[in-house]
Amino acid sequence: MILDRFQALQDYLGSAVLGQKPLTEALLLGLLTDGHVLLEGTPGLAKTRAVKALALGVQGDFQRIQFTPDLLPTDITGAEIYRADQQAFEFQPGPVFTNLLLADEINRSPAKVQAALLEAMSERQVSAGRATRPLPELFMVVATQNPLEQEGTYPLPEAQLDRFLLHVRIEHPDAETERQILRLTRHGDRLQPPERPPLAWEDIRQAREEVATIHVAPAIEDYLVHLADATRRPGAYSNELAEWLAAGVSPRATIGLEQVCRARAWLDGMTFVTPDLVQRLLPLVYRHRLSIDFRAQARGVTADHAMDALLHAVPVS
């Protein structure tokens, strides 16, 4: 069964990256939903290692871009190069023409460089010169970023953030997990490929088709819609939300949350989506899309506070 193969990949990721279950879960959910993933955390929390482990478990090309302040948009998309021997321009594809793209420390580059990924992430194509070139059917961007309060970083604009389906905040491991990491690295921490053959594109396509069959009851649909509506008309649901939120989420958030819930239900061997799944996965989809009022930010209110208030304010249908 294709489900068994994905569960085996899930176990492999968990063994390759210790103590970071939310991280490995998000990578699998992104793969199943054809979505992009943003990983946020301080350096050294195995963000890059997790993406490399995923690349070993999936059949396809893998490229990594290290974002720096002097990176150019053409370093990502590619450019037309003049060939003197042919007296003609030839397009040299950039690293974006791949299956799995790791955009490492994406907030180390200014907005014009980040924007080079916008068309690729949303339209699955790249326009360069007078031609538009399609990207592979399997195309997934996993970006890492350091917290914005660190020096030398550029906040991602809202249009860029909205292209990411999931936003995962990576925390430090607990003491016992760190002890296991020490023992692992003591004997060398080089990633080993999974025992099973990597997942091919046909396997992933079949899994996505099965995910699409997961049942979403009308009551769950209403719950998803009301959660989004509460971010747009917060005063009708909660005084706290009315004070904290500056703008609501787009329909892309509702669509994304349903897709992620379907994928998680499928991975768990379920045939339908439950309210518990919606509540557990909502932070992954909403965290980077909620706009907090600047006055609330000054009082220390974060997106996580707003999401807690949102879940309390909107009852399950």
* Beta strand residue intervals within the chain, DSSP E: 37-40, 62-66, 78-83, 88-93, 100-104, 125-128, 131-134, 140-145, 166-169, 245-247, 291-292
Same domain, 10 and 127: yes
Tell me the per-residue pLDDT of 290-315, one tens digit each, with 9 for 90 and over.
Answer: 999 999 999 999 999 999 999 999 99
Name the pLDDT band for 150 (thresholds 50, 70, 90): low
Angle at 101 between CA 99 and CA 107, to 5 degrees: 160
Tell me the per-residue pLDDT of 38-59, one tens digit each, with 9 for 90 and over.
Answer: 999 888 888 888 998 999 999 9
| Percentage with pLDDT > 70 across the chain | 97
Looking at residue 108, which CATH number applies to its domain? 3.40.50.300
Report yes or no on 201 lying in a domain: no
Same domain, 178 and 301: no
Tell me the per-residue pLDDT of 61-78, one tens digit each, with 9 for 90 and over.
Answer: 999 999 999 999 999 999
Whether residue 149 is predicted with pLDDT greater than 70 in this model: the reply is no
Of 83-92, 105-114, 303-312, where does the model show the most confidence?
303-312
Of 81-95, 126-140, 187-201, 236-250, where does the model show the most confidence?
236-250
Same domain, 289 and 159: no
Name the pLDDT band for 272 (thresholds 50, 70, 90): very high
Report yes or no on 19 lying in a domain: yes
**Per-residue pLDDT averaged across 93-113, rounded?**
91
Strands 245-247 and 291-292: antiparallel
Tell me the per-residue pLDDT of 220-246, one tens digit each, with 9 for 90 and over.
Answer: 999 999 999 999 999 999 999 999 999
Same domain, 143 and 239: no
Report yes or no on 200 lying in a domain: no
**Per-residue pLDDT averaged across 130-137, rounded?**
89
281, 260 in Cβ contact below 8 A? Answer: yes
Report yes or no on 237 lying in a domain: yes
| pTM recorded for the entire structure | 0.91
Residue environment code for 237-260, b if the CB has 16+ CB neighbours within 10 A, otherwise e:
bbebbeebbeebbeeebbebbbbb
Same domain, 243 and 158: no
Name the pLDDT band for 84 (thresholds 50, 70, 90): confident
Range of the domain at 51: 2-186
Q: How buried is 289 (Cβ within 10 angstroms: 0-12 exposed, 13-18 middle, 19+ buried)?
A: buried
